[in-house]
Structure 1
Amino acid sequence: MKNRFYTEFDTASIGRGQSKNVKGRTPFEQDRDRIIYSPAFRRLQNKTQVFLSGEFDFYRTRLTHSMEVSQIGRSIVNHLNRTSGLLSDDFHIDQDLVESVCLAHDIGHPSFGHAGEQVLNKLMFKSGGFEGNAQNLRILVDLFYRDKSRWKGMKPTRAFLDGMLKYKTLFSDSEKKKHHFIYDFQRDILDFVSPEVAFDSLFETEKELNSFKSLECRIMDWADDIAYSIHDIDDGIRAGFITMKKVRNWMEELGKGLSPDHATFLDNLCGAIADDTFSEFLARLIGEFIHCTTLVERENPLSPMTNRYRFNIAVRAEGKALCSLLKDMAVALVFHTPQVHQLEFKGSMILRQVFEVLEGEYIDGKSEYRLLPAHYHHALALRDDDDKRRMLCDYLSGMTDGFVVRTYKRLFDPDFGSIIDLI
């Protein structure tokens, strides 16, 4: 049965990359399958979510996090399709599309988490910056497939690409230029996603522009919030960062700013930690957050063109508030600790020093040493300095935690580099 929710406008693909032939699968299924089979997606298994990947085998990585977000996203879609009186069997949100967006939402994020993202942005500041979400788009549109020393995209559908557009502000228009932007050369993506109405013509402020998202992007955003707010707490408890004593102390610090309902919730969490039932206690929240979600209609200049902007999700206030409480606790008790900050500092230092070596050799030097694989080495010779810097950033941001560390050791550790180490 044809799904009337999406039209040819939604399934049209941006013109660069491998075409989608009819193979008994919808364009959205092909988007999803290409993500799952891609090297960029597999590399997420060795990229930091909270704790450095490989530190312990039960902590979440970017890969397991992305899989959890995709499952929550599918469940939200299933809930909305079943409970909303606005949808029907032949007019519904596509689960494969939402799953694609959720699976790919971190595909461009570098090693060492947000610390890696921040240091790459500083290193690339004079050449257009670096932002994990902008790099998501770059991979999908420009870097997905490689043929020797040339790259091309996966030819994503308009709906999929728009679902990935968490932010629509160009780097040059960004006020702080720290995050929440896309690269200036990605304006053509904005033009493709909304060919008749320029996004930046609709809003006066950067915040308003970045808040204007398609339905599928909204679902992915909420699924991401659910996943990391709950699972960062779960990992934090397992790692020993979050204990009953630390939760109690944090409650005292919040004082009157803590509502009675949230105080009761944290008391119950302390009980679950004491009973070693915290994993089950937290897992139940996923269903509660999913069922906090409802479908609503909205009006805007894009709503006549596509149902993706005719509809939006609303999340009940109590669900949003509890999710924010969990995120605040993770920041206070896990992320803002000396142990995590020390790891972030080390990761930033490693990325910075490796980048500076590559920049010195391929941009400031004469490429006397072949420090990069042959396809990058040859491709760099054909670029100007800004393009070279962007290509080096592409290479470095795609490296896993372990790969960056091994590269750093080869370059700087005198005791690392025997023939066994090089294999």
Structure 2
Amino acid sequence: MTPSIGFGAQPRACYAVDPGRSKGRLFMEPESPTRTPFQRDRDRIIHSSAFRRLQYKTQVFLYHEGDLYRTRLTHTLEVSQIARSIARALLVDEDLAEALALAHDLGHTPFGHAGERMLDALMLPYGGFDHNAQSLRIVTSLERHYAEFDGLNLAWETLEGLVKHNGPLTDASGQGIDQYANGLPFAIRSYAQEQDLLLESYASIEAQAAAIADDIAYNAHDIDDGLRAGLISLKQLRDLPLIGAALVEVYDRYPGLDDSRVVHEIVRRLITGMVEDVIKTSMANLTRISPQNVGEVRNASETIVGFSGEMAKTVAEIKKFLFENVYRETNVMRVMGNAEQVLKELFVFHFEHPDSMPFEWQFDLDGSSKEVLARRVADYVAGMTDRFAILEHRRLFDVTPELR
């Protein structure tokens, strides 16, 4: 596992994705003389319309509830920083890990997971809705800025990592597994006819680093946002593993420190503890499995980048705490219920009146099937920001539910 110097002069282990040996893009393009394929992908993602819209999409709290709370954009930037740190330590391609982190939430609906749940229920007769599959749909189809192709025409390795960052989607026969046991989402199923992303295998170390970075970021930062929103207190954290120890350390080292600084100090310790555990555990896994190239990473029988057993238990306890005290808090549930109503009414209205959508969304729908119409409406509604969805609902309906 001796690192080598490759394209871009970045130290790289033998199991890393080599940007100089990319499988290329669906549509042929000249290579950039100054950027690797994955640096180019990262830049295309940042300049996309979908990425800009993340600024006004919900992480947990609605965008207008306060300047301190995270949006999808701030969360995404935090994930990208953590992903790069892990990738650097594991001697894999940081640019690919960063590109995947920046793209991982592009497919989210307005109003967070509440919006996704409602849109999935509305789309159930037409193949359902999945935010991970929608991210693929955005970067391969819905972004329409380039003269020669739809989408961003990202490199094969970026698309593979975007789709498979949480593990294989099918078995060797092509049958969906785990959450996709009843069938692959529409966007993934349809794109697989264009390009084989090896859905039966694991993704690269870079993609696995982006996936675990997402877990680290939202666990730590939902604790932060929950404290700042007053939904949880520092006192409640004393019995949580890792966080409780961090709290004791901060109080002992900085007696009399104001609560705002205490919160920051425990969150940074929480992130550091999880990142260091991932790096140590992943290096041990790499030594044990000893993959000699990225193909052996894909064909491994397990995820290589992850938490230790002890840290996995700690993370599970933190998630359980957040679920009970933040995500299922009475006022949060009320607001999310109202948000689901807004999204449902928007979808139904545009489905029944497709000419109410902007011209570019409805110009070629005459004579289309209900499935095509529903997917078009879902694409349109899913792309809305929280702010636009609220304004659009107010324009179309007499009463908009309270979302604060």
With structure 2 as the length reference, what TM-score do the two structures score? 0.81
Partner residue, 2:265: 280
- In the alignment, is the contact (CA less than 8 A) between 1:115 and 1:347 conserved in 2? yes
Task: Report the 3-state secondary structure (helix = DSSP H, G, I; strand = E; otherwise coil) of the residue aligned with 1:192.
Answer: coil
**TM-fit CA distance, 1:233:** 0.3
Partner residue, 1:305: 295
Task: Report the 3-state secondary structure (helix = DSSP H, G, I; strand = E; otherwise coil) of the residue aligned with 2:81.
Answer: helix
Partner residue, 1:219: 209
In structure 1, C-alpha distance between the alignment counterparts of 2:94 and 2:178, rounded to whole Å: 36
Aligned AA for 2:121? K
Query: Can you list the C-alpha shifts for 1:95-122, whole angstroms capped at 9, x where unaligned?
Result: 1100000011101000000010000000
Task: Report the 3-state secondary structure (helix = DSSP H, G, I; strand = E; otherwise coil) of the residue aligned with 1:60.
Answer: coil
Match 1:11 to one of 22, 29, 40: 22
Query: Can you list the C-alpha shifts for 1:333-364, whole angstroms capped at 9, x where unaligned?
Result: 111111110111011000000100111123xx
Partner residue, 1:182: 185
In structure 1, C-alpha distance between the alignment counterparts of 2:257 and 2:331, rounded to whole Å: 24
In structure 1, C-alpha distance between the alignment counterparts of 2:44 and 2:297, rounded to whole Å: 25
Residues 1:73 and 1:382: Cα distance change in structure 2 (over 3 Å): farther
Partner residue, 1:229: 219
Moved more, 347-356 or 323-332: 323-332
Match 2:35 to one of 12, 16, 25: 25
Match 1:2 to one of 3, 6, 13: 6
Residues 1:312 and 1:184: Cα distance change in structure 2 (over 3 Å): same
Aligned AA for 1:124? M
Percent of paired sites with the same residue: 33
Task: Report the 3-state secondary structure (helix = DSSP H, G, I; strand = E; otherwise coil) of the residue aligned with 2:86.
Answer: helix
Moved more, 370-379 or 35-44: 370-379
Q: How does 1:13-412 map to 2 (within 5 A)?
A: 13-15=24-26, 19=29, 21-81=31-91, 93-146=92-145, 152-165=150-163, 166=166, 168-169=168-169, 173=176, 182-183=185-186, 186=189, 188-189=191-192, 192-194=195-197, 199=200, 212-244=202-234, 246-247=236-237, 251=239, 264=245, 275-276=258-259, 277-292=262-277, 293=279, 294-295=282-283, 296-297=285-286, 305=295, 312-362=304-354, 370-381=355-366, 383-412=368-397
In structure 2, C-alpha distance between the alignment counterparts of 1:190 and 1:372, rounded to whole Å: 29
Query: Can you list the C-alpha shifts for 1:79-98, whole angstroms capped at 9, x where unaligned?
Result: 222xxxxxxxxxxx111100
Residues 1:175 and 1:8: Cα distance change in structure 2 (over 3 Å): closer
- In the alignment, is the contact (CA less than 8 A) between 1:112 and 1:347 conserved in 2? yes
In structure 2, C-alpha distance between the alignment counterparts of 1:376 and 1:54, rounded to whole Å: 27
In structure 2, C-alpha distance between the alignment counterparts of 1:395 and 1:37, rounded to whole Å: 19
**TM-fit CA distance, 1:378:** 0.4
RMSD (Å), alpha carbons: 3.5
- In the alignment, is the contact (CA less than 8 A) between 1:169 and 1:180 conserved in 2? no
In structure 1, C-alpha distance between the alignment counterparts of 2:98 and 2:237, rounded to whole Å: 34
In structure 1, C-alpha distance between the alignment counterparts of 2:250 and 2:339, rounded to whole Å: 32
Task: Report the 3-state secondary structure (helix = DSSP H, G, I; strand = E; otherwise coil) of the residue aligned with 2:304.
Answer: strand
Residues 1:135 and 1:178: Cα distance change in structure 2 (over 3 Å): farther
Aligned AA for 1:341? M
Aligned AA for 1:183? F
- In the alignment, is the contact (CA less than 8 A) between 1:116 and 1:351 conserved in 2? yes
Residues 1:144 and 1:8: Cα distance change in structure 2 (over 3 Å): same
Residues 1:214 and 1:382: Cα distance change in structure 2 (over 3 Å): farther
Task: Report the 3-state secondary structure (helix = DSSP H, G, I; strand = E; otherwise coil) of the residue aligned with 1:54.
Answer: helix
In structure 2, C-alpha distance between the alignment counterparts of 1:239 and 1:26, rounded to whole Å: 42
**TM-fit CA distance, 1:56:** 0.3
Aligned AA for 2:105? D
**TM-fit CA distance, 1:281:** 1.8
Aligned AA for 2:34? G
Task: Report the 3-state secondary structure (helix = DSSP H, G, I; strand = E; otherwise coil) of the residue aligned with 1:324.
Answer: helix
Could you tell me which runs of 5 or more consecutive residues in structure 2 were left unpaired when the two chains were aligned.
8-13
Task: Report the 3-state secondary structure (helix = DSSP H, G, I; strand = E; otherwise coil) of the residue aligned with 2:305.
Answer: strand
Residues 1:98 and 1:263: Cα distance change in structure 2 (over 3 Å): closer
Residues 1:10 and 1:405: Cα distance change in structure 2 (over 3 Å): farther
Aligned AA for 1:356? V
In structure 2, C-alpha distance between the alignment counterparts of 1:302 and 1:121, rounded to whole Å: 41
Residues 1:177 and 1:350: Cα distance change in structure 2 (over 3 Å): farther
Residues 1:62 and 1:313: Cα distance change in structure 2 (over 3 Å): same
**TM-fit CA distance, 1:325:** 2.7
**TM-fit CA distance, 1:231:** 0.4
**TM-fit CA distance, 1:404:** 0.5
Task: Report the 3-state secondary structure (helix = DSSP H, G, I; strand = E; otherwise coil) of the residue aligned with 2:64.
Answer: coil
- In the alignment, is the contact (CA less than 8 A) between 2:60 and 2:112 conserved in 1? yes
**TM-fit CA distance, 1:226:** 0.8
- In the alignment, is the contact (CA less than 8 A) between 1:302 and 1:309 conserved in 2? no
Could you tell me which runs of 5 or more consecutive residues in structure 1 were left unpaired when the two chains were aligned.
82-92, 203-211, 252-257, 363-369, 416-423
Residues 1:301 and 1:125: Cα distance change in structure 2 (over 3 Å): farther
**TM-fit CA distance, 1:174:** 6.5
How many aligned positions are there?
373
